[in-house]
Structures are given as structure tokens and as C-alpha cells.
Amino acid sequence: MSLLKKKKRKEAEIPTSSMADIAFLLLIFFLVTTTIDVDTGIGMVLPPKLEEDVEPPPIKERNVLKILVNEQGLVLVEDQPSAVQLIREEVKKHVLNNGADPRYAEETGKALVSIKTARQTPYESYVSVLDEVWMAYFEMWDAEARALGYPDYGAYVNAIDEQDAENAIRDKIKAAISIAEPDAA
């Protein structure tokens, strides 16, 4: 009898050597199914809905850089035929003009870029135009940040985040992009 009791005590152990293998199997499953791609895109903020009887604030014609994109994806900048690649420089000239050239904006703070498309304009053309406009702003912000002694705008944003300070560059050069409604056909 005493012999039987001894045997029982010895067997009370679970083999744990395969535990790692099981965990590995699960790990591999999740490794394969994981997608760590972060969503990227061009951020925009739509204007709030206008009240019925409120007139939109008056804007001087001069402060608006009008960009038109037609059905074929061709571009008009200030009623002049242009190319998508030239928009970046045009926007920079417009925003940093400060009254020098009568065709462009009076002040940086008042400058506005308006993008107007037709209803048949391909989305791809619209995005490439919008992309160029945004790149113009990004490059201007980069230049401002370098003037303040930061390597680029991203470094500046990180620095002010730490200090909890206001984003002075963004206040100075506001990205004012408006998406105009197409003309009724």
C-alpha cells in the first residue's frame, strides 16, 4: 500500500517544455495578421455649414489665389493656363507677397487659396493640385522653422509641444485653403 502512494506523488507535474512552442504558434499567427500601416492622407477641415441669412464675410479679390481644375485635369491659376508643378511656387509667391506685386495677396495673414473643380474633374487631379498647395505651405513652414533655428518644421512642432507653447508659425502663415463649389451646369 505504501508503495502505491509514493507513485501518485511523483506524477503530479505538468510538462511545461511545450509551452514555448504553443506561445510561438500564437505569436506567428498574430505576426502574420498584424498590419501596422498607419493611415496617411491629406488632412482638411471643412467650413461649417452657413446659416441661411448670414452673408459670407467679404474677401478682397486680390487676396484669393484662384485655382481651377477642369474635366481633363487641366489647371488655370488666376485665369492663366498653368501646370500642376508650377502651383507650389505660385502659392508661395502669393502668400509671401506682402503687397509687393498687385496680382498677389496684400498680407500673409489675409492670403487665401481657392480650389475650384468641375463636377467631372477626376479625383486624382484634384488631389495632386491640393497636394501641391499643401506642399507649398509645408515648405514655407519649414523655412520659418529654419529661420528660428530648428532643422525643420517637425522639430519645431515637437519643441513647442514640450513647452506647451502656441504654434507661432502656423499663426503667421495660416493654411487657408477653400474648396469652392462647382458652377451649376
Partner 1 sequence: MAGHFQKKVTTKQDIPTASLPDIIFMLLIFFMVSTVLRETTVQVRTTLPQAEALTKIDQKRLVSYIYIGPRKLDGNRLGETGVQIDDALVEDLGNVRTIMYRKLVEQPKLIVSLKVDETSEMGVVLDVQQELREAGTLRINYSSRREIPS
- Residues at the interface with partner 1 (CB under 8 A): 16, 19-20, 23-24, 26-27, 30-31, 33-36, 38-49, 117-124, 126-128, 130-131, 134-135, 137-138, 179, 181-182
Least distance (Å) from partner 1 to the CB of residue 132?
8
Least distance (Å) from partner 1 to the CB of residue 150?
19
What is the DSSP code (8-state) at residue 82? E
Distance CA 142, CA 154 (A): 8
Distance CA 67, CA 70 (A): 10
Least distance (Å) from partner 1 to the CB of residue 63?
22
What is the DSSP code (8-state) at residue 53? T
When the beta carbons of 98 and 167 are compared against partner 1, the nearer one is: 167
When the beta carbons of 4 and 185 are compared against partner 1, the nearer one is: 185
Sheet holding 64-69, edge to edge: 80-82, 75-77, 64-69, 112-117, 177-180
- Grid coordinates given for 38: 498607419
When the beta carbons of 41 and 149 are compared against partner 1, the nearer one is: 41
- Neighbouring-strand partners of residue 64: 112
Least distance (Å) from partner 1 to the CB of residue 44?
5
Who contacts 12 (Cβ-Cβ below 8 Å, separation ≥6)?
Answer: none
When the beta carbons of 8 and 49 are compared against partner 1, the nearer one is: 49
